[in-house]
Amino acid sequence: MIDEYDKDYFLLSCDLCGITEDGPFATFMESVKYKKDNPDQWKSLFLKNPYDGKSKWHDVCAGCFPKTPMAKWKYIPTSKRSRAMRKEKASESLTNIANQIARTINKRRNSL
């Protein structure tokens, strides 16, 4: 979480273990930028609270990330995703259809 202290500075800390990143940060957005620039050290996860059943955002350090359910998810590259493959096939088929139409038009034009 990113906490504000004395309206002067912000600290980035892990919501699971409480470890705090070296700081402080002058603004909230500066701490968010730091988190985005260091994806190997910090993750933002939308996790469900087992006590009240509500989901909310958590800032998690690299040490706690393997303890979360999302650590077990496998990353599927874009080239392997079925939706991406369908779009590629659709664009290929559209290109083939367009090329066939162009060839037919050119044949008819040449025959005139």
Mean pLDDT score, 51-55:
82
Runs of H (alpha helix) within the chain: 28-37, 82-111
What would the pLDDT profile of 4-47 be if each residue is shown by its tens digit? 776 778 888 888 888 787 778 888 888 888 888 888 888 888 87
From the list 35, 36, 44, 40, the residue with the least C-alpha distance to 15 is 44
Q: Where are the domains of the chain?
A: 1-73, 74-112
Please tell me the predicted confidence (pLDDT) of residue 1: 66
Predicted TM-score (pTM) of this structure:
0.52
Please tell me the predicted confidence (pLDDT) of residue 88: 55
Q: How far is it, in rounded angstroms, from Cα 10 to Cα 19?
A: 14
Asked if 14 and 44 touch (Cβ cutoff 8 Å), the reply is no
Please tell me the predicted confidence (pLDDT) of residue 27: 85
Residue 51 confidence (pLDDT) above 60: yes
Binned at pLDDT 50, 70 and 90, residue 71 comes out as: low
What would the pLDDT profile of 83-110 be if each residue is shown by its tens digit? 555 555 656 676 777 788 888 888 888 8
Asked if 20 and 37 touch (Cβ cutoff 8 Å), the reply is no
